[in-house]
């Protein structure tokens, strides 16, 4: 028999050693899988977690959620590259998630889960579990994820495969800026990053305290990879990456509008790609969500990200939305 429990106190959840192991290494392959990330969302972004857990014979399936006015949503915000259920190694994911989906019918009339990957059938298995538990389920693509499979190449071989414009820019502009790399958090460098971001084309940062706290934690763990480009001593570009479990995650990059003729972002990207490929020996580089054109200069594969919308059919408030999504699907737009 599968037992389902809910945790809205992350400290209480982490006191359960077996559960903490499910949301830790080696199953947590990215920052977004870890309880520490969820705690940052709670403390800096006013997001109250609800961690749903299905347990059978010591095996667990964990689905990080948050309550909102219209139902349960995935525990995520704009900084998440993805969200996904975490399942104990060797467990029957379908059975655990189906039991969890059945119990969730008592928690909310609607679920909205995004952005979900499907490289390991996460979306497929979760959608099937919800359907089996009686939810009306719609799955749509909501975003894309640009990645680089390094494939054993060194940086020189990888760079040789970049578009000619990138290689030409590096030859002409790289010497016009100096680059500083760091693998530990440095308050001075972070201040420079924030100043560059404020002078860039980027929109206002969603939660600067969240991002700084994350960078501090990643620096303490040795996972931070940060780079600053300077021209005439002034910071003109900055990038913030992290590295873990063979993957480099590109979280933030920005350059000042005034420095655009120097192409400092291209120089910084090259320096960090060399770092993670030749020294960190990663096998994958993940550029997050979004279909920005500049990502295609550095990445070689595009993976879909999905949204699951699931509804309890006995709730009259859901009927208009179910009808709308069913019509879109019938017309081929979903």
The pLDDT mean for the chain works out to 95
- What is the mean predicted confidence (pLDDT) over 228-257? 97
Same domain flag for 214 and 166: yes
In the predicted model, is pLDDT for residue 21 greater than 90?
A: no
The answer to whether residue 301 is domain-embedded is no
- Would you say residue 295 lies in a domain? no
Judge if 139 and 165 occupy the same domain.
no
Whether residue 91 is found in the same domain as residue 117: yes
- pLDDT at res. 262: 97
Question: Do 161 and 188 reside in the same domain of the chain?
Answer: yes
pTM of the predicted model, to two decimals? Answer: 0.95
CATH number at residue 51: 3.40.630
- For the chain, give the percent of residues with pLDDT over 70: 99
Q: Is residue 235 part of a domain?
A: yes
Structural domain harbouring 242: 152-282
Q: Write down the pLDDT at residue 333.
A: 65
In the predicted structure, residue 259 carries a pLDDT above the cut 80: yes
The CATH code of the domain that includes 276 is 3.40.630.30
Could you give the C-alpha distances from 257 to 195, 237, 293, 304, 311, in angstroms and in order? 12, 10, 18, 31, 46
Q: Of 282, 297, 317, which residue constitutes the final position of a domain?
A: 282
Grade residue 19 by pLDDT with cuts at 50, 70 and 90: confident
Average pLDDT over every residue of 78-97: 95
In a domain, 299, yes or no: no
Under 8 Å between Cβ of 240 and 183: no
pLDDT digits (tens, 9 = 90+) for 290-324: 999 899 999 999 999 999 999 999 999 999 999 99
191 within some domain: yes
Band the pLDDT of 25: cuts 50, 70, 90. Answer: low
Q: Is residue 288 part of a domain?
A: no
Mark whether 21 and 133 lie in a shared domain: yes
Closest CA to 93 of 66, 148, 132, 67: 132
Q: Say if 293 falls within a structural domain.
A: no
Same domain, 138 and 30: yes
pLDDT at 28: 85
Residue 232 has pLDDT above 80, yes or no: yes
| Residue 83: partners with Cβ closer than 8 Å, 6 or more residues away | 32, 64, 74, 75, 76, 113, 114, 115, 116
In a shared domain, residues 156 and 136:
no
Asked if 316 and 223 sit in the same domain, the reply is no
Q: Is residue 291, in this structure, part of any structural domain at all? A: no
pLDDT tops 90 at residue 13: no
- Shared domain check, 179 and 205: yes
* Contact status, residue 177 vs residue 169, Cβ threshold 8 Å: no
* 164 and 187 together in one domain: yes
Residue 334 has pLDDT above 70, yes or no: no
Residues 8 and 28 in one domain: yes
| Same domain (yes/no): 108, 202 | no
Q: How many domains does the chain have?
A: 2
Confidence of residue 149 (pLDDT cuts 50, 70, 90): very high
């Amino acid at each position: 028999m599968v037992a389902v429990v809910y945790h809205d106190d992350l400290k209480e959840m982490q006191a359960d050693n077996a559960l903490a192991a499910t949301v830790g290494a080696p199953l947590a392959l990215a920052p977004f899988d870890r309880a520490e990330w969820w705690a940052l969302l709670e403390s800096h972004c006013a997001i109250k977690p609800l961690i749903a857990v299905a347990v059978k014979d010591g095996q667990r399936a964990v689905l990080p959620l948050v309550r909102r006015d219209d139902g349960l949503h995935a525990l995520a915000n704009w900084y998440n590259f993805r969200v996904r259920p975490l399942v104990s190694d060797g467990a029957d994911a379908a059975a655990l998630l189906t039991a969890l989906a059945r119990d969730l019918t008592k928690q909310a009339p609607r679920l909205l889960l995004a952005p979900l990957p499907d490289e390991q059938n996460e979306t497929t298995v979760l959608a099937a579990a919800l359907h089996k538990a009686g939810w009306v389920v719609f799955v749509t693509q909501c975003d894309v994820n640009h990645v680089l499979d390094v494939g054993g190449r060194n940086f020189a071989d990888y760079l040789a495969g970049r578009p000619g414009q990138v290689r030409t820019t590096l030859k002409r502009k790289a010497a016009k800026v100096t680059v500083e790399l760091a693998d530990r958090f440095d308050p001075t460098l972070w201040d420079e990053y924030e100043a560059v971001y404020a002078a860039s084309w980027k929109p206002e940062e969603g939660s600067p305290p969240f991002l700084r706290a994350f960078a501090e934690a990643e620096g303490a763990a040795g996972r931070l990879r940060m780079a600053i480009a300077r021209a005439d001593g002034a910071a003109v570009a900055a990038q913030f990456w992290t590295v873990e479990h063979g993957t480099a995650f590109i979280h933030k990059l920005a350059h000042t509008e005034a420095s655009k003729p120097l192409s400092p972002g291209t120089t910084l990207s090259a320096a960090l790609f060399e770092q993670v490929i030749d020294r960190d020996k990663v096998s994958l580089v993940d550029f997050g969500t979004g279909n920005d054109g500049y990502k295609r200069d550095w990445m070689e594969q595009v993976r879909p990200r999905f949204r699951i919308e699931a509804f309890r059919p006995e709730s009259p408030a859901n009927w208009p939305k179910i009808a709308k999504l069913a019509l879109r699907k019938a017309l081929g737009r979903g």
